Structure 1
Amino acid sequence: MTRTARYPKQVVVIAIVALLILATIVASTSIGSGALSFDRLLQTLFGHGTTKENLVLFSIRLPRIVVTLLAGMGLALSGAILQGVTRNDLADPGVVGINAGAGVAIAAFFLYYPMDPKTFAYALPLVAFAGALATAALIYLFSYSKGTGLQPVKFLLVGVGFALALSGLMIVLISSADPRKVDFIAKWLAGNVWGADWPFVWALLPWLVVLLPYTLYKSNALNLLAMDEAVAVGTGVSVGRDRLILLAVAVALAAAAVSVTGGVAFVGLMAPHIAKAIVGRRHQVYVPVAVLMGGWLLLFADTVGRHLVEPAGIPAGVMVALIGGPYFLYLLLRK
């Protein structure tokens, strides 16, 4: 039996989300200053555009679209892994403090480390990963019990506490910083997609190319970890090792994404939930849907936010939070 026959609903949903992404990309290039109509977009893509059209599409619009799409995918995949590993449907890299840990590391690096602009884009994901990994390790230690293992509710509460504490530390860093550098940190905190250039695409892409297939490969282990620790142990899953490795994968994906988009939260919460509601809770089925859904959510939020208020627009992180905040409260009350 082919995979398409086994998961027909998944294939249909993936096709629909892919069309939504395509429509949003067309809309993103067709509105605003220097807009390209659909026919001019096709002409420019095939090498028949004017100098101005090539500049607008290939140097301004397209890199921002690809960065936003990849970052949303990374955040959604990170959230799906976190929800499975912690058995907590409210887990999200922004909510549990992982994004905040990455943000503090990026802020300290940007403010106090003399950097070469040519290597800045490639260094940021590594710096963010170091900060996020240290934060996730502390959250894990504080929420782990020898008798009962990882406690999902405690993991969420400890993560929220770390997020608040690290946000306070970020304010301290800003208050003592060079005023010329504060603007960057302020944009990062708001979730403004600032890394909208091709080097940031190449810095972000390898993380997804490597870690998405690995996550799909570990789908069965994630299914078992999401059910019950005793069940996972009984079926031969190395719970401690797999949980730590998958947690590191989730941290890496979130850190790489927020290093170029800023402090975007709730994408990793909403995309997996929407995917689970549509195609079910098996990771090998819903993870591809969640990844595409996360990419579309962030791309849609950035496209709407950039043109909602002229000329500066509204950061994508703020747009996502306007939807994700109430959704998080709904889930919290329901659970």
Structure 2
Amino acid sequence: MGNYQHLKQRKWLIFLALALVVLFLISISLGSSSISIDRIFPTLLGQGTFKESFILFSVRLPRVLILVLAGMALAMAGSLLQSVTRNDLADPGIIGINAGAGIGITCFYLFVQSDIQHYAYVLPIIGFISAIVTAGLIYFFSYEKGKGIQPVRFVLVGFGFATALSGLMMILISSAERQEVEFIASWLAGNVWGTDWPFILALVPWLISCLPIIFYKVNTLNILAMNEPTSIGLGIALKKERFLFIIIAVALAAAAVSITGGISFIGLMAPHIAKNLVGPRHQLFLPIALFIGPILLLTADTIGRNILESSSIPTGIVVALIGAPYFIYLLKKNNK
């Protein structure tokens, strides 16, 4: 049975890797200024025209790479939160962690009074600090002594924080200058704005430092996903391990949304789709989720940029149009 599951996983990994490559090429090719797919590789090798090189290296390639990295980060963050809290509805956006990162970034942006692109490497740190404070508060209010985190309370408390922090950002908008309003509104809508090479370099270290820890401790995650007495009985230092994984989840989510804006539901959908494909064991579904996250985010961004001729729809809104019905479906399923 185990060999069959691993064979099934390898088949899905190959299929999803090919799908991601195809989607990557399509996303680079399509847009207001298109570049044909057969010209992508010659341009990468330095044989393209000035226009082709500019579109590829300055506009499309950094944006698409950011979306791939952010999709991976959000998928892993959602997977960890669902496992640690034993809550299928946990997602960094739904439970307020993204909004926590957003309020820190907004305050920083209003404070520095400068081009925020100059602070590419600082933004994930600012987002992480404000998101971890938010996560701590959500954890505190949803924890019940002797029973641990209560799943329904966790979602409700997190949703309450997300709503309150989004409202606070709207209050900040009301007293901001027009340029500042545009940035905050863009962030709230999930309009990918960090689309230059420094933002890629700012995001990569967070993934490089967090992913090895996640995959090294997959068996611990399998145990944490069980009920609390069983986890303790199997010798897990429950509070320590839970704290570690929440820190990692918040770090990945904050790093991603500090650059892409407030995108929700990727962390909700990617783990669920992966589990439906290969089962609930973390060593099986986490690698699958690592591909599904970028595929979902790239698909949403490509649709948003090309569905209308005159303007583009923010990626976060397209994701929400897909993810919100999925969330409602899961909510009804869990209440049965």
**Interval of TM-score (by shorter of Structure 1 and Structure 2):** over 0.9
TM-score by length of 1: 0.96
Describe how 1:1-335 pairs up with structure 2 within 5 A: 7-115=6-114, 119-335=118-334
CA-CA distance at 1:315 after TM superposition: 0.7
CA-CA distance at 1:136 after TM superposition: 0.2
Q: Deviations over 1:229-288 (max 9, x none)?
A: 111111111100000110010000000000111010000000000000000001111011
- The aligned amino acid for 2:249 is A
CA-CA distance at 1:312 after TM superposition: 2.3
- The aligned amino acid for 1:212 is L
Between the aligned partners of 2:160 and 2:134, the Cα distance in structure 1 is: 11
Between the aligned partners of 1:23 and 1:116, the Cα distance in structure 2 is: 35
Between the aligned partners of 1:80 and 1:30, the Cα distance in structure 2 is: 31
Look up the SS of the partner of 2:120 in the other structure: helix
- Give ranges in structure 1 of 5+ residues lacking alignment: none
> Contact 1:221–1:232 (CA<8 Å) still a contact in 2?
no
> Contact 1:4–1:11 (CA<8 Å) still a contact in 2?
no
> Contact 1:76–1:269 (CA<8 Å) still a contact in 2?
yes
CA-CA distance at 1:6 after TM superposition: 6.6
TM-score by length of 2: 0.96
> Contact 2:82–2:91 (CA<8 Å) still a contact in 1?
yes
CA-CA distance at 1:117 after TM superposition: 5.3
Between the aligned partners of 1:292 and 1:328, the Cα distance in structure 2 is: 20
Indicate the larger mover: 193-202 or 175-184: 175-184
- Give ranges in structure 2 of 5+ residues lacking alignment: none
Look up the SS of the partner of 1:122 in the other structure: coil
CA-CA distance at 1:5 after TM superposition: 7.6
Q: Deviations over 1:280-332 (max 9, x none)?
A: 00111101110110011001100111011123211110000001000000000
- The aligned amino acid for 1:19 is L
Indicate the larger mover: 121-130 or 26-35: 26-35
Between the aligned partners of 2:232 and 2:254, the Cα distance in structure 1 is: 30
Distance 1:32 1:315, change over 3 A: same
Q: Deviations over 1:173-195 (max 9, x none)?
A: 11111222110111111001110
Indicate the larger mover: 291-300 or 24-33: 24-33
Distance 1:118 1:99, change over 3 A: closer
Distance 1:315 1:236, change over 3 A: same
> Contact 2:98–2:131 (CA<8 Å) still a contact in 1?
yes
Distance 1:57 1:141, change over 3 A: same
Look up the SS of the partner of 1:7 in the other structure: helix
User: Cα RMSD (Å) of the superposition?
Assistant: 1.5
Q: Deviations over 1:89-142 (max 9, x none)?
A: 000000000001111111111012345756411111011101110000000011
- The aligned amino acid for 1:101 is G
- The aligned amino acid for 1:333 is K
Give the share of equivalent positions with the same residue, in percent. Answer: 55
Between the aligned partners of 1:241 and 1:330, the Cα distance in structure 2 is: 33
Between the aligned partners of 1:74 and 1:118, the Cα distance in structure 2 is: 21
Q: How many residues align?
A: 333
Look up the SS of the partner of 1:93 in the other structure: coil
- The aligned amino acid for 2:200 is V
Q: Deviations over 1:28-61 (max 9, x none)?
A: 2222333222221111112211222111101110
